Structure 1
Amino acid sequence: MASSKSDYWNQYYARPATNARPVPSQFAVFVAGELGGPHRVIEFGCGTGRDSLFFASYGHQVTAIDSSTTAIEHGQALASELGEKVDFIQADVNTPDLPSLITEAGDRTAIYARFFVHAITEEEQGTFLDSAAALTKSGDVMAVEYRTIRDQSGTKETDSHYRRFVNPADFDHAAAQRGFRVQYAVEGFGFAKYKHDDAYVARRLLVRD
């Protein structure tokens, strides 16, 4: 399964690269406004680095992680072209000792994951949260946005993507078990529109106790 998922995402990102600065997601803009001063931002499921490049442009120290070799290569090339410093790491959420691959720096850390939680299994979600806990300390934050159980019947622009529709209460409980408490929570349509796909998503900003 891991191999087939990797092959799928490599093929998905095997489209012509662009040198244009990508427009950040609505969620990245929201999170940047909440962070205030510089953070070590660690993005899980970065794709080609759209949001990671945005955070780097605002002076954050950014590590961008994705399992797709193709996506990472595109992100690295674009960062070089735009003159942004982003540390891209090709790794899966199940990569052994993943936190040890990430550079330690700064006083504050933000874990960032947009449309990542619903693209992994429930077991992998637990592994992701374990890594988030290992990478953070009291006062650090985790920002996530994902499709919820109320999004199952909506139109999808990319039908072939693996999707797991997440119960926000279950996610909050799993995060709480790792020492994260919800500081901000909202759900609904209109937060992540893409063409005909208006996903019903949950947004969470959590703080590490």
Structure 2
Amino acid sequence: MRAYKFYMITINHSNKKKDVREMDSIKLYWDKRFKEKKWIWGEEPSEAAVRTVVFLKKENKERLKILDAGCGYGRDSMYFTAHNHKVIGIDITNTGINMARSYYPDIDFLIGNIHDLSFPNASFDMLFGNFLLHLFIKDFRKKIIKESLRVIKPGGIASFSVASTEDADFGQGQEIEKNCFVNARGIMKYYYSINTIKNEFKQFKELFIEPMLEKHVHDYPHEHKSFLIIARKEGTVEC
């Protein structure tokens, strides 16, 4: 098994129509991508999912109830399920969810918005989002993080992988907010630094932050520098 080093940081304690338009735009883009490319990132789990499972094993976390937010066609949902966790996958794209349901019929997949989840408070032990959070402007990221805190249990975990300011794509395209760019394909991406991670996740009790380098082969061979963020909510885990 590969060994990963985590760095622990202890933390002290719009407009609705515009929101709909933005989510519709994202939905249309990813529906089109899944229809054209199918298995865009292959069948293997993301690097973030692999490292998150390593983290959970180190903490002796077993049989967790996990929400895979922005699950796409379900490859990470399957990986967590294979490690004996109970997973619900959610994504805004009909195409992605239909693919996931077809490939992994034993896993529950739902269509929905990750910034406005329909689940009751404290429904999950962990929320996971691979390359999800950085696809939104600041107001949306705040909503997603707030919803993450709401739906995970006290002492639970939110795990996100996000783009880094060290990534080769940083600075390319039109800057619409600080460190947030729209590239030539029309995709918006926000690039995180350690400081912006600490600031956006300051409501969590602890952060475990690890730099990652992940290779992709879709469209053309390339790699992305990113961060894995594992954030622990205040409170005690129920036994």
Structure 2 length-normalised TM: 0.72
Q: Rate the CA distance shift 1:8–1:153 in 2: closer, same or farther, 3 A.
A: closer
Equivalence for 1:187:
211
Equivalence for 1:23:
44
Gaps of at least 5 residues in structure 2 are 1-21, 173-182, 235-239
Equivalence for 2:68:
43
Partner SS for 1:23: coil
Q: Rate the CA distance shift 1:74–1:176 in 2: closer, same or farther, 3 A.
A: same
Equivalence for 2:35:
14
> Of the two, which has the highest radius of gyration?
2
Superposed counterparts of 1:59-208, under 5 Å: 59-80=84-105, 85-95=106-116, 98-100=117-119, 104=123, 109-151=125-167, 153=169, 160=185, 161-177=187-203, 179-182=204-207, 184-188=208-212, 190=213, 192-195=214-217, 196-208=221-233
Aligned AA for 1:148?
S
Q: If each structure's helix is expressed as a fraction of its own residues, which one has the higher value?
A: 1
Aligned AA for 1:7?
L
Aligned AA for 1:100?
F
Say if 2:168 and 2:224, in contact at 8 Å, map to a contact too: no
Q: Rate the CA distance shift 1:66–1:101 in 2: closer, same or farther, 3 A.
A: farther
Alignment identity in percent? 17
RMSD, aligned CA: 2.6
Q: Rate the CA distance shift 1:139–1:86 in 2: closer, same or farther, 3 A.
A: same
Q: Rate the CA distance shift 1:193–1:102 in 2: closer, same or farther, 3 A.
A: farther
Say if 1:99 and 1:131, in contact at 8 Å, map to a contact too: no
Q: Report how many aligned residue pairs link the two structures.
A: 193
Q: Rate the CA distance shift 1:139–1:165 in 2: closer, same or farther, 3 A.
A: same
Q: Rate the CA distance shift 1:6–1:55 in 2: closer, same or farther, 3 A.
A: same
Say if 1:147 and 1:200, in contact at 8 Å, map to a contact too: yes
Q: If each structure's strand is expressed as a fraction of its own residues, which one has the higher value?
A: 2
Partner SS for 2:154: coil
Shift of 1:103: 9.7
Gaps of at least 5 residues in structure 1 are none
Equivalence for 2:55:
34
Partner SS for 1:22: coil
Partner SS for 1:199: strand
Runs of 4+ in 1 over 6 A off after TM superposition: none
Say if 2:122 and 2:153, in contact at 8 Å, map to a contact too: no
Q: Rate the CA distance shift 1:112–1:28 in 2: closer, same or farther, 3 A.
A: same
